[in-house]
Amino acid sequence: MSIPVTQLKGVGARTAEQLARLDIYTVDDLLFHLPMRYEDRTQVVPIRFLQTGQLGLIEGRIESVEVKQGKKRILSCRLSDATGIVALRFFHFYPNQVKKLQQRPLLRCFGEVKEGYQCLEMVHPTYELIEEVQESELLKDHLTPIYPSVSNFNQTQWHSVMKQALLIELPELLPEKLLLHLKLPNLNQALKIVHQPLPSERLTEIDPSTHPARRRIAFEELLAQHLSLRALHQHSQQHTAPIFEPENDLVQRFMQQLSFDLTKAQQKVIDEMTTNLHQAKPMQRLLQGDVGSGKTVVAALIALQAIAAGYQVAIMAPTELLAEQHKNTFAEWFEPLGLKVTWLTGSLTQKKRRNALEDLILGITHIAVGTHALFQDDVKFDKLGLVIIDEQHRFGVHQRLALRDKGKQGDMYPHQLIMTATPIPRTLAMTAYADLDVSVIDELPPGRTPVQTAVVSDAKRDHVIQRVHASCKQGKQAYWVCPLIEESESLQLQAAEDTAQHLTERLSDLKVGLVHGRMSSKDKELVMQQFKNAELDLLVATTVIEVGVNVPNASVMVIENAERLGLAQLHQLRGRVGRGAVESYCLLLYQAPLSKIAQERLGTIRDSTDGFFIAQKDLEIRGPGEVLGTRQTGVLNLKVADLEKDKGLFAEIPQAGQWMLEHYPEQCEQLIQRWIKKGFRYGVV
Ligand code: ADP
Ligand code: MG
């Protein structure tokens, strides 16, 4: 049982409220709130040994006190010990304070050391009068932890509550055998070290997150996450789901009308899924496949299995543009088979929406294609058997569950297929997506010509414009992408509009179009359609075209401010070209000067077209937060562990989790209880 923080001395309702803002409700939560850094106040430093830039604790006598009058009043004191003199400066002070210092007391002082006019100085140091202190706030026997905080809750308060919390021993949930194997300390040792480290732990000198004590806690958290996702998976397997028929007339007719053969990789993932789909348990599968690897046709084949078994299918895409494209593809593929494709997004007229909803609930619709609008409350299906989510690796687990529950009918859950073009390295997937089975399409359809990529300084913009012009004159089409560089969408829009206007003027013999996120879906579609029909030569776009848009004749892409984009995102953007047989190229424009990391990253994109390799590199250079897109949405809700810094721990997690489940099921449950907040726990969601 965990103890509520309100049982600690000095934690009343108000304090509890402040702590709640940091998700701290229990003593466990409190102890897992780790310091961000440490200060060494365990030793008094002789003034002569102070170094600028350093935080230092000194002791000495006040020699002189002076208040400079002027526009701004400044209190300056000189403090000396046997080895030297330091100036102390204060910009905010009380008359009382001056009076006290004028009595030339012995002072203990902590602050950052700076270069001064005549001697070193400290600006606004914390200090105490040695004669007055009972228990020194400044001179400590362990390093002083500094906690991330919310306003009004200061470090002294943190120290006070932590001190009390540390008197409470938390139950050890990791077996000793495991700790020995991993060479990690036990929990209470680890907590003691992170909250009250001795100077010998050297935590002011090293990155605290690399210390074994902290890794111990991070490991426990990652393990708890993993176990919770697995429990979730197990839990979902207790539900029933429809049984599909892998071999059926629809599938055969579809294959006959398809103009290409499936690749081996496509066939493989279909087989993997089919195994799920003719059991009466809900499939929860993540399908990874590089841009252009042909995920859509895989989705179609699975959808046909559902439809043949008498169920409806919902396909959701993150943007209207992508949804639109799927609608067209599926209409083209499925309508000749006599199937009803229904379109549902937020921008439908009342009347069309009403018709669509009616088709869904009456079971007239075989497959519904749309955006998030598909999962609004008033959308009801007759017999939903399969939910497909495209390009949505940024979904957290609770969103996946919410979607799943939408499709629930009685005790029957639909199967779920999540498709992503962002390859996620296996160990990471095992941690972040342990509730999903993973399939990978690891080969591209034949006949693709790799895109030639060059990295070009923005200073050569004119040259780039000429090159684009020449290509378009040869009948090729081009994208000019202005990605998000400003936080604000309107500024981004401005940049795209300016670029479009500029290019229109410069290239007056070309037809230039503009598409951006603020346009109505109708206008977007119109422009995209014009581009598809080759009525436009050059399409200026914000990143709305990031994923999925398919225009085979587009074979040139310019990406501005490429150095600001993630590799995965660049790779996806670039995947818009090179879809036809023509030779394609991609120009990455950057603003000089490029940092070393940026050079390395752009070099990776230039030299490789392999999405998995690129993702692996991105993982190495920028870390998993970037790869998973956790920065934006928090795929995992981590308190202590850092996907980036603790990536070394991932490899151990799946095996440790398996072993724990087999031998220590009770502890597994307790780990989940301890770490996973209620709202995220299965059964509650
Ligand atoms: P993505 O995986 O990026 O969603 P798509 O499903 O849009 O890729 O497929 C990209 C293109 O490749 C489409 O034009 C599709 O028709 C085509 N394609 C898919 N599978 C094959 C295949 N086995 N052989 C040839 N072309 C294919
Ligand atoms: Mg796609």
CA atoms within 13 Å, Cβ hemisphere of 266: 18
Residue nearest to atom 10 of ligand 1 (CA): 292
Pocket test for ligand 1, best of 255, 286, 293 (most atoms within 8 A of CB): 293
| Distance of alpha carbon 491 from the chain centroid | 24
Ligand nearest to the CA of 576: 1
Q: What is the DSSP letter of 409?
A: B
Name 653's Cβ contacts closer than 8 Å, sequence gap at least 6: 219, 222, 223, 226, 427, 430, 431
Listed in sequence order, the residues at least 6 apart from 365 whose beta carbon sits closer than 8 Å to its beta carbon are: 312, 340, 341, 342, 356, 359, 381
Ligand 1 centre distance from Cα of residue 512 (Å): 27
HSE of 9, CA atoms in CB hemisphere, 13 A? 6
What one-character DSSP code corresponds to residue 82?
T
- Among the bound ligands, name the one nearest to the CA of residue 291: 1
Q: Which ligand is nearest to the CA of 296?
A: 1
Euclidean distance between CA atoms 339 and 357, whole angstroms: 17
Instruction: Give the residue, by CA position, lying nearest to ligand 1 atom 22.
Output: 445
611 to each of 39, 483, 554, 563, how far by Cα in Å? 43, 20, 20, 18
Distance 311 CA to ligand 2 centre (A): 23
Q: Measured in angstroms, how far is the CA atom of residue 311 from the centroid of ligand 1?
A: 25
Q: Which of 262, 264, 270, 296 to mutate to test ligand 1, by most ligand atoms within 8 A of the CB atom? A: 296
What are all long-range contacts of 359-365, with beta carbons under 8 Å and residues at least 24 apart? 360/312, 363/312, 364/340, 365/312, 365/340, 365/341
Residue 657: HSE in the Cβ half-sphere, 13 Å Cα cutoff: 25
Residue spans of beta strands (DSSP E) within 553-611:
554-559, 585-590
pLDDT for res 610: 82
Provide long-range contacts, Cβ within 8 A and 24+ apart, for 173-178: 173/220, 173/667, 173/670, 173/671, 173/674, 174/220, 174/223, 174/667, 175/660, 175/663, 175/664, 175/667, 178/656, 178/659, 178/660
Report which bound ligand comes closest to the CA of 301: 1
Q: Yes or no: say if 418 and 395 are a contact pair by the CB < 8 Å rule.
A: yes
Give the distance (Å) from ligand 2 centre to CA of residue 297: 9
Atom of ligand 1 nearest to the CA of 329: 16
The token pair at 616 is 């692996």
**Taking a C-beta distance cutoff of 8 angstroms, is the pair 389, 418 a contact?**
yes
For residue 222, the one-letter residue type is L
DSSP state of 412: B
Distance, CA 570 to ligand 1 centroid (Å)? 19
Q: Give the E-state strand segments of 401-552 in sequence order.
A: 415-420, 437-441, 452-457, 477-481, 512-515, 538-541
DSSP characters over 334-368: HGGGTPPEEEE-TT--HHHHHHHHHHHHHT--SEE
Alpha carbons within 13 angstroms on the beta-carbon side of residue 176 total 0
Nearest CA to ligand 1 atom 25: 445
> Ligand 1 pocket test: which of 291, 295, 297 has the largest number of ligand atoms within 8 Å of its C-beta?
297
Residue 680: the pLDDT is 46
Counting ligand 1 atoms within 8 A of each CB, the residue from 254, 255, 257, 260 with the most, and so the one to mutate, is 260
Cβ proximity of 576 and 499 under 8 Å: no
> Residue ranges of the chain with pLDDT lower than 50?
547, 626-634, 679-685
Residue 683: per-residue pLDDT: 38
Residue 200 structure tokens: 């010998």
Which among 281, 278, 258 is positioned nearest to 270, based on CA atoms? 278
Quick one: which atom of ligand 1 is closest to the CA of 447? 25
Residue 567 is predicted with a pLDDT of 83
DSSP 624-661: HHHHHTHHHH-SS--SS--TTTTHHHHTTHHHHHHHHH
* Contact predicate 295/441, CB 8 Å: yes
Q: Which atom of ligand 1 is nearest to the CA of 299?
A: 6
User: Contacts by 502-507 with C-beta closer than 8 Å and gap 24+?
Assistant: 503/465, 503/538, 503/540, 506/465, 507/465, 507/468, 507/469, 507/472, 507/538
Distance 329 CA to ligand 1 centre (A): 11
Paired tokens of 184: 């990690």
Whole-number Å distance, alpha carbon 572 to ligand 2 midpoint, is: 10
State the ligand closest to the CA atom of 579.
1
431 alpha carbon – ligand 2 mean position (Å): 25
Closest ligand 1 atom to residue 390 Cα is 4
Using the mean position of ligand 1's atoms as its centre, give its distance from the Cα of residue 297 in Å: 7
Which residue owns the Cα nearest ligand 1 atom 23? 262
Which residue, judged by its Cα, is nearest atom 1 of ligand 1?
Answer: 292
By C-alpha distance, which of 74, 266, 31 is closest to 163?
A: 31
Q: Going by DSSP bridges, is the β-strand pair 106-114/55-68 parallel, antiparallel, or unpaired?
A: antiparallel
Burial 35-44 (b: 16+ CB within 10 A, else e): beebbbbbeb
How many angstroms does the Cα of residue 41 sit away from the middle of ligand 1? Answer: 63
Q: What is the rounded distance in angstroms from the CA atom of residue 685 to the CA atom of residue 683?
A: 6
Centre of ligand 2 to C-alpha 419, Å, is 8
Q: Which residue ranges have their beta carbon within 6 Å of ligand 1?
A: 260-263, 266, 289, 291-297, 421, 445, 548, 550
Q: What is the pLDDT of residue 684?
A: 35
